[in-house]
Amino acid sequence: MSPSPDTILVSEVGPRDGLQSIARTMPTPDKLRWIDALHAAGVREIEVGSFVPPALLPQMADARELVVHARSLPGLQVAALAPNLRGAQAAFEAGVHKLTIPVSVTEAHSLANVRKTHEQVFAELAAIAALKRDRYPHVELEAGLSVAFGCTLQGAVSDDETMRMVDRAAEAGADVIGLSDTSGYAEPRQVRRLFRKLQDAVGAKAGGAHFHNTRGQGLANVLAALDVGVTTFDASQGGIGGCPYAPGASGNIVTEDLVYLLEAMGFATGIDIEGLIAARGILQQALEGEPLYGMVPDAGLPKGFRYADAKAVHA
């Protein structure tokens, strides 16, 4: 799906990024109901899981089952994440439409996160890209550049460091390169600057924005990215998945608030906010006691609210 400038693709990453940092495993039937409800609300891309060894991350053990189910939902782009060739192979076999390979911009984060040097990470990415070209050419392969705006281990990250990794990811064969603010370091001017540099460097391979709301700057960063023409945004329902080292900090930007912002500004998402709130209810029930974030679900839609595409039928 390549949105026109007035259409934005909101990619729901809650089932992967959100749940990944929640210790309690959400039962598979609840995940299936949640995914169905998100789809019914009009969400057109969902990252349903991560292909990692179940012993390492029991929460993601049902990734294959979720991909297979999600593929049965009409019009849904089914995305997943895989940290290595083995995971990528499993994801391709399961039938993903889009696969994201995380690439840490700093070597410190790479070693801590996937226990690999940059050299090893790019060799693996090249092998995944080769497998994709040979056997799964229809899959969109994304390199998701983590800690692109700042790193919990290294601290500040320069634009040059990030851009070097952009070039290497393109050389290794990624179809799309996205920028992730993994732990809430980004500020809007930096976002504008880096996405412009990304677009100048790789043109049509420039991917979307993945922001966390750790320090409350998430939607400000979205505005900055919109200014320079970014058309894909990751978000998680209820902003779940806050950093375990920062109590009270929310995780990804909140899907409900993001969709509200976009629609209010005139960017069509195709997503119905009431439908999202219904999906949120499933999450709330399944993860009772887990904090959910977002303002729009509590406040509700303002009187006379109009969606960007006024012709769209909303319940």
Q: How far is the CB of 17 from Zn ion (least distance, A)?
A: 4
CA dist., res. 249 & res. 253, Å (int): 11
Tokens, residue 139: 């899959």
CA dist., res. 284 & res. 278, Å (int): 10
- Which one-letter DSSP state was computed for residue 268? B
Contact stretch for Zn ion (CB under 5 A) within 14-22, 100-108, 125-133, 292-300:
14-22
**Beta carbons within 10 angstroms of residue 249's beta carbon:** 19
Q: Which is nearer to Zn ion, 17 or 290 (CB)?
A: 17
Q: Which is nearer to Zn ion, 148 or 259 (CB)?
A: 148
| Shortest-Cβ-distance residue relative to Zn ion | 17
Question: Looking at the DSSP assignment, which residues form a beta bridge with residue 234?
Answer: 11, 210
Q: Which is nearer to Zn ion, 22 or 131 (CB)?
A: 22
Q: Which is nearer to Zn ion, 17 or 45 (CB)?
A: 17
Which of the following is catalytic: 22, 243, 308, 312? Answer: 243
Contact stretch for Zn ion (CB under 5 A) within 1-9, 10-18, 41-49, 157-165:
10-18
What residues between 33 and 62 interact with Zn ion by CB under 5 A?
none
CA dist., res. 100 & res. 98, Å (int): 7
Verify whether residue 151 is a known catalytic residue: no
Amino acid at 27: P
Q: How far is the CB of 185 from Zn ion (least distance, A)?
A: 12
Q: How far is the CB of 153 from Zn ion (least distance, A)?
A: 16
CA dist., res. 191 & res. 171, Å (int): 23
- 270 phi and psi, to 5 degrees? 75, 5
Contact stretch for Zn ion (CB under 5 A) within 13-21, 85-93, 156-164, 221-229:
13-21
Number of residues binding to Zn ion, judged by CB under 5 A: 1
> Nearest-CA neighbor of 186 among 153, 164, 165, 217?
217
Does 17 participate in binding Zn ion (rule CB under 5 A)?
Answer: yes
Q: How far is the CB of 241 from Zn ion (least distance, A)?
A: 7
Tokens, residue 9: 């693709």
Tokens, residue 188: 């809007």
CA dist., res. 54 & res. 277, Å (int): 30
Q: Which is nearer to Zn ion, 20 or 231 (CB)?
A: 20
Q: How far is the CB of 50 from Zn ion (least distance, A)?
A: 11
Residues that bind Zn ion (CB under 5 A): 17
By annotation, the residues acting in catalysis are: 243
